[in-house]
């Protein structure tokens, strides 16, 4: 599957309507971004069950700001609409393959349960019941990934 370009208008829909979405935040002037691009493209051809998307941070500055991008390339993985991975830096092909295996292996119901528990704890402390923050969702997913690897 070829990569798709995301905009501020298409980002939410793409993440919400697909089981697994991998997003590469990049810019044309970024050397590491240019080095990572072929690795990302090659993986997209091998994993047709994953949406591989790119966000040009120069053209989509608002989206990059909303996503909290401070360094590029930044790779984000979403599973079932939940952010489960976010990391700046280009990955070698073997690390990207390992990441995809881990993301696909996540029990998304468990990730959502952990995120809900966090929201419930926040609500119990007197705050309004809100969606878990991106950091909380990533932390929950990271805990599950670590458990899968016995860490």
CATH of 4-105, one of 3.40.30.10, 3.40.50.300, 3.40.50.11540, 2.10.60.10: 3.40.30.10
Annotated catalytic, 33? yes
Pair 99, 93: CB distance under 8 Å: no
20: β partners:
79
* pLDDT band of 40, cuts 50, 70, 90: very high
Residue of 6, 22, 30, 96 marked active site: 30
83: β partners:
78
Q: 89: alpha, beta or left, given left = phi > 0 and alpha = psi -120 to 50?
A: left
pLDDT (0 to 100) of residue 143: 54
pLDDT average, residue stretch 17-23? 95
* DSSP states of 120-139: HHHHHTTS---PPPHHHHHH
pTM over 0.85: no
Residue of 23, 33, 64, 67 marked active site: 33
CB-CB neighbours of 6 under 10 Å: 23
Domain residue extents for the chain: 4-105, 108-148
């Amino acid at each position: 599957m070829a990569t798709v370009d995301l905009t501020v208008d298409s980002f939410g829909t793409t993440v919400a309507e697909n089981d697994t979405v991998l997003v590469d935040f990049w810019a044309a002037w970024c050397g590491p971004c240019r080095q990572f691009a072929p690795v990302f493209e090659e993986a997209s051809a091998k994993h047709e069950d994953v949406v591989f998307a790119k966000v040009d941070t120069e053209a989509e500055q608002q989206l990059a700001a909303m996503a909290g991008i401070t360094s590029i390339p930044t790779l984000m993985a979403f599973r079932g609409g939940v952010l489960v991975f976010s990391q700046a830096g280009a990955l070698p092909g073997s690390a990207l393959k390992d990441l995809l295996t881990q993301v696909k292996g996540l029990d998304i119901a468990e990730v959502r349960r952990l995120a809900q528990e966090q929201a419930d704890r926040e609500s119990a402390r007197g705050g309004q019941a809100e969606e878990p923050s991106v950091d909380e969702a990533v932390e929950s997913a990271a805990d599950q990934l670590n458990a899968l690897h016995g860490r």
